[in-house]
Structure 1
Amino acid sequence: MIVAFSVSPSGGAPAGDEPDSVHTAVAAAVKVVRDSGLPNRTSSMFTEIEGDWDEVMAVVKAATEAVAPFGRRVSLVLKADIRPGHTGELDGKVERLERAIDRL
């Protein structure tokens, strides 16, 4: 499965951070994802991670917990593509899209 998720704190900023910035909290979450060893990529709004259900959800939970100290609440947005028996789709889907664009 591939999960695209975004996690951020609200209700307070850590000392020294700009009130409107969540980059330190997001960095903590992304570090958890990268340290997991699962295929992943981060864009300006979402982090995508690929693996089986239990391992992906464990990483999402740990990333969410890493953000918790940065605010009184945590917001999690999650979208999942559950496709049993398929791997390598984090890149495969994009490669197929690029080939389709090239044919246009």
Structure 2
Amino acid sequence: MIIAFSVAPTVTATPNAEMSAAVAEAVRIVRESGLPNETNAMFTLVEGEWDEVMDVVRRATFAVAEVSPRVSLVLKADIRAGFTDMMHEKIESLEKHF
């Protein structure tokens, strides 16, 4: 499965506080998981089996919760049994049309 998720604090110490430090901690957890992943300006993608991917999302969310009493989590999943490396395969399939 592939999960695209975004996690961020919704409450910060001051109205102008940066959220990037909390988000960076979440991304660190994803990168250290050993699962295939990519981060862009809006989402982080993680690929693997259900339990391992959802565990990474849970740990990343809890890391953000360490600095904020309220957390926003947006999650989209592509669940397709028997397929691997779909983060790259989907892009290769798309690029064939250009």
Instruction: Give the TM-score range, shorter chain.
Output: over 0.9
Q: Matches of 1:48 and 1:81 in 2, distance apart?
A: 11
* Residue 23 of structure 1 pairs with residue 20 of structure 2: yes
TM-score, length-scaled by structure 2:
0.94
Q: Matches of 1:56 and 1:13 in 2, distance apart?
A: 30
Q: 2:90 aligns with which of 86, 89, 93?
A: 93
Contact between 2:12 and 2:19, CA under 8 Å: does it hold in 1? no
State the shift of 1:11 in Å: 1.6
- Secondary structure, in 3 states, of the residue corresponding to 2:96? helix
Structure 1: 4+ residue segments shifted above 3 A: none
State the shift of 1:88 in Å: 0.5
Q: Matches of 1:85 and 1:13 in 2, distance apart?
A: 45
State the shift of 1:20 in Å: 4.3
CA RMSD of aligned residues (A): 1.4
For residue 70 of structure 1, what is the aligned residue in structure 2? 67
Report which of the two has the higher share of helix.
1
Q: Matches of 2:87 and 2:13 in 1, distance apart?
A: 33
State the shift of 1:47 in Å: 0.2
Give the residue type in structure 1 aligned to 2:16.
Answer: P
Percent sequence identity is: 56
TM-score, length-scaled by structure 1:
0.89
State the shift of 1:74 in Å: 0.6
For the pair shown, the structure with the greater C-alpha radius of gyration is 1
For residue 60 of structure 1, what is the aligned residue in structure 2? 57
Q: Number of matched residues?
A: 98
Could you say if the C-alpha distance between residues 20 and 98 of structure 1 is closer, same or farther in structure 2, counting changes exceeding 3 Å? farther
